[in-house]
Structure formats: structure tokens, C-alpha cells
Amino acid sequence: MTGPPRGEPLRRRIEAGALRKFARATGQTDPLFTGGEADDAEGITASPTYVGTFCNDALVGVFLPRPEHDMILHTADEVDLFAPIRVGDTIAAVAELELVEEHVGRHGPTTVQRARITLTNQRGEPVATIVVEMRSFSTGQADD
């Protein structure tokens, strides 16, 4: 089952502070990702998993709601990187639903949903594709 692409892409201008903060939060020490002590923010490149920061906002309204499920877990990511993200870039993210499957797992009825997010920069160059997989199920707590 596949849903329609979202209309307007999410757009973000990349700021040095955001890249530095992400690098610190993920333990990076490489000056390529942290900027080191340099004042020249132009040289900072996003570390390889920074692309994941687009997911939550880009996926709003993409996964099908499952109101009977009170738990959702992130179960897989497939990322292909084509171009670096640098300070001053404007990145557009478009997400579309790729797959919805129903299973009966150890948590009972479980829904697996997979969405593809495509990132492009201000020059129209592909930056990355990200396939995110989530599983949702009921823990039974809602019945208490």
C-alpha cells in the first residue's frame, strides 16, 4: 500500500550552530563535522547521520494513523548519501509512504510502515535518500 507524495517539501536552511550541536550530541570530534576552533563556519560539513534530523518533520502526516496502537518503535533505516550538506545550504525534504504491512508478532497485531524521504539541495542536486521503517502495536496499557 502506498500513499501519495506530500505536496510541499519541508525546507531548512543549514546553520553552523545546528551542525555543531548535532556533532556534539553524537560524540563527533572530527573538525570536519565540529568546525574545531575555527570561526569559519563555511567549512563545516554535516556528519553522515545528520540527514536523520529531517525525518520527524518530513514524516508528519505520512504514516497512516493507528489509533488502536499506543506504542511505536523505530526499527530500520536505509540511507544513501550523494552529496554533502554544508552551512548555507537549503535542503528540501519530500516524504512518501512506501509500504504498510500488517503482522501478528510477539506484541500481537503489529503494523509495519515504511516511508522514503528524498533530500535535495538548493541546486536541485540529490543529497540523500532515507527509508525509515516503524512498527506500531498495542501494549495493552490503554485497556487498564
Partner 1 sequence: MTEANDFAGIAPGAALPELALAITRADLVRFAGAADDYMPQHWDQPMMIAAGFADVVVHGWLCCAHMCRCVTDWATPRGAILAAYHVTYRQPLYPGPLTCGGEVVAAEAGEVTLELWARDGSGQTVTRATARLRPADAAAELRGRARRNKSRNDAGITGSGAR
Identify which of residues 79 and 100 has a Cβ nearer to partner 1 in the complex. 79
Interaction between residue 103 and partner 1 (CB under 8 A): no
Q: How far apart are CA 113 and CA 118, in angstroms?
A: 17
Q: How far apart are CA 82 and CA 136, in angstroms?
A: 31
User: Mask of contacts with partner 1, 8-47, x by CB under 8 A?
Assistant: ----------x--xx-xxxxx-x-x--------------x
Quick one: DSSP state of residue 45? B
Interaction between residue 70 and partner 1 (CB under 8 A): yes
Q: Cα torsion for 26, 53, 112, 104, to the nearest 10°?
A: 40
Interaction between residue 52 and partner 1 (CB under 8 A): yes
- The least distance separating partner 1 from the CB of residue 75, rounded to whole angstroms, comes to 5
